[in-house]
Structure 1
Amino acid sequence: MGAGDSIDDFSSKLSSIRQEAIVLGKNYKDKKLVKKFLRSLPTKFQSHKSAIEVALNSDDLKFDHVVGMMQAYELQLKKREQTAGKGLALMADQTVEIEDQVNMMVKKYFRMYETGQRGGSSSQFKSGAEKKIQKLDKQCAECEGK
């Protein structure tokens, strides 16, 4: 069994080999198929394979029963991988969003800083007295302040 193969694919290959052998007059028992199946599993199934070998007598197990147990375990592994992937994607999105906010704040800061350096002043940084003087300097164009 290859690392990319699923349990379902591999079990169907073994079943088809079993059927071909029956046609040719050779009958493989479940005991032999179970041992071959467990022996050929990749390392990601090692923990479950060991648990089956220790807890259950592999001589008495049916091939379909072992395949069903391993398919259930494979589904659990896939579910864990999907949830782990979603968590990382969410964290990456949040990190990008925070970086964008920081970039915007830095840009605004430098814009305000540059306008202060050029001689232009921002109304945010003027004192109350400066604002009153500016109001007094302004006159209406029609009445000319009269």
Structure 2
Amino acid sequence: MAGGDTLDSFAGKLEAMTARFAGLGSTLEDAALMKKLLDSVPDRLYGAVARIEQFCDVSTMAFEEALGRLKAFDERLWRRGQAGGELADGALMYTTA
């Protein structure tokens, strides 16, 4: 996932890849999509990935469920003002040394 990508845009790219696989006569299983998703998220979502891998059966989890969990965690970070040094209103946080 590139630095500027949102979860929605990255999920769209993965779904487009699934459609290309289908166009070639093959299928891309949810397990493969899950691996790509969980391996590609930014560092700020690492805690959510660890929880998903620890407490859920990733081999049977639907791609949409994992995406929903990651989006909920990301939204909570934004509301708490912990996402990349920015507050929820977009203002930068500064610290004094």
The answer to whether the superposition gives a TM-score over 0.5 is yes
Please identify which structure carries the higher helix content: 1
Higher RCO, Cα 8 Å, sep 6+: 2
**What secondary structure, in the 3-state scheme, does the structure 1 residue paired with 2:26 have?**
coil
| d(CA) in 2 for partners of 1:55, 1:32 | 19
| d(CA) in 1 for partners of 2:36, 2:90 | 33
Give the Å deviation of 1:4.
2.2
Unaligned runs of 5+ in 1: 90-146
1:83–1:8 distance in 2 versus 1, CA, 3 Å: closer
Kindly provide the CA deviation profile for residues 33-85 of structure 1, in whole angstroms up to 9, marking residues without a partner as x: 10111011111111110010000110010001111111111111121223597
Give the match for residue 34 of structure 1.
34
Larger radius of gyration: 1
One-letter code of the match for 2:21? Answer: A
Give the match for residue 6 of structure 2.
6
Give the match for residue 140 of structure 1.
none
Give the match for residue 57 of structure 2.
57
Give the match for residue 15 of structure 1.
15
Deviates more, 1:67-76 or 1:7-16: 67-76
| d(CA) in 1 for partners of 2:19, 2:4 | 24
Count of residue pairs the alignment pairs up: 88
| d(CA) in 2 for partners of 1:5, 1:85 | 17
| d(CA) in 2 for partners of 1:66, 1:83 | 23
Aligned-residue sequence identity (percent) comes to: 27
Give the Å deviation of 1:26.
1.4
Detail structure 1 runs of 4+ shifted over 3 Å in the superposition. Answer: 83-86
| d(CA) in 2 for partners of 1:57, 1:26 | 25
TM-score by length of structure 1 reads 0.55
Give the match for residue 68 of structure 1.
68
| d(CA) in 2 for partners of 1:68, 1:25 | 28
| Backbone CA RMSD of aligned residues | 2.0
